[in-house]
Amino acid sequence: MRVVIARFPFDLIKTEVQDAMKGIKPEPITGESVLIGSRHYPVKQVGEIITRQDRRDFTAGEVTRALTRLGFTCRSAPPATRTPLEEASAMLQTPAAPEWDPES
């Protein structure tokens, strides 16, 4: 199937993508991801391997659209979570003091 990533056309087949990712260890997922076989990969990692381009040359959306068209299951970025320190800090926040009204 012909897809365009970073303004360049690529003729990709699902099995070729699967073969290219065999033996590749998935990086930690911080954004959009794709399921290839039984592993979840960041779409930027997959895009870099299948296009042989630098990750800065394309967007995650371009690769996600291409992989979805090929039949892969893609996930959006995980929701942002607070660190334990941020959670504790939020729990310690005091409510704002009422504004002082000079006429009361």
Q: What is the pLDDT of residue 77?
A: 79
Please enumerate in sequence order all residues whose Cβ is within 8 A of that of 53, keeping only pairs 6 or more positions apart, or say none: 5, 6, 8, 47
Full-model pTM: 0.72
Look up tokens 């391997």; give the residue.
Answer: 49
Neighbours of 59 (CB within 10 A): 16
pLDDT 10s digits, 47-79: 999 999 999 999 999 999 999 999 999 998 777
Look up tokens 């897809």; give the residue.
Answer: 3
**Bridge partners for 36 per DSSP:** 39
Rounded to whole angstroms, how far apart are CA atoms 96 and 59? 42
pLDDT above 70 (res 97) = no
